[in-house]
Amino acid sequence: ELPFLMSREFLSNQENDPYLMKKSAAGYSDNTTADVHRARWSALFDQMDKALSEEEKQMESWLNQVKEMQLHCERGLQQFQCNATHGLQQPETLENDSRLEEADNSERELAVRAAAASIYSTCNFLLENLPCF
């Protein structure tokens, strides 16, 4: 598609541009016109390449932040599971068992809420920082 677009623009500009007609009449070659178009397209592609590179760096940064948050959540859940496992292995009286179960349920609920808040926060962060197209 790009060669077609370039050739179409090249021909269209040659036909409609009085400056190019004067240049042709004065003996300038088509190479000069081609050089002008090459410079124009090169500048455009360089600009696009730079913008894409910057966007790539930003997205990699966001990905690393998300991975870091996921790791933090996984560590918290592992610690929660470890605490719950050790708490259940110790022999306790019935009264202490019910208190332990309530504490475990409370910790589990807090862990789930913290994980949900982390996910929600991550999503909001990513949505706020999306580039507008």
Q: What is the pLDDT of residue 76?
A: 78
**What's the pLDDT score for residue 96?**
57
**CA 125/CA 62 separation, integer angstroms:** 9
pLDDT at residue 95, as a whole number:
54
Query: Can you tell me the mean pLDDT for 4-29?
Result: 56
Q: For residue 110, which of 66, 78, 80 has the smallest C-alpha distance?
A: 80
Alpha-carbon distance of 110 to 64, in angstroms, equals 25
Q: What integer pLDDT is reported at residue 73 of this predicted model?
A: 80
This prediction has a pTM of: 0.40
Q: Which long-range contacts (CB under 8 A, 24 or more apart) does 114-118 make?
A: 114/73, 114/76, 115/73, 115/76, 115/77, 118/69, 118/72, 118/73
Task: Give the tens place of pLDDT for each residue, 115-131.
Answer: 888 887 887 787 777 66
123 alpha carbon, distance to own chain's centre: 12
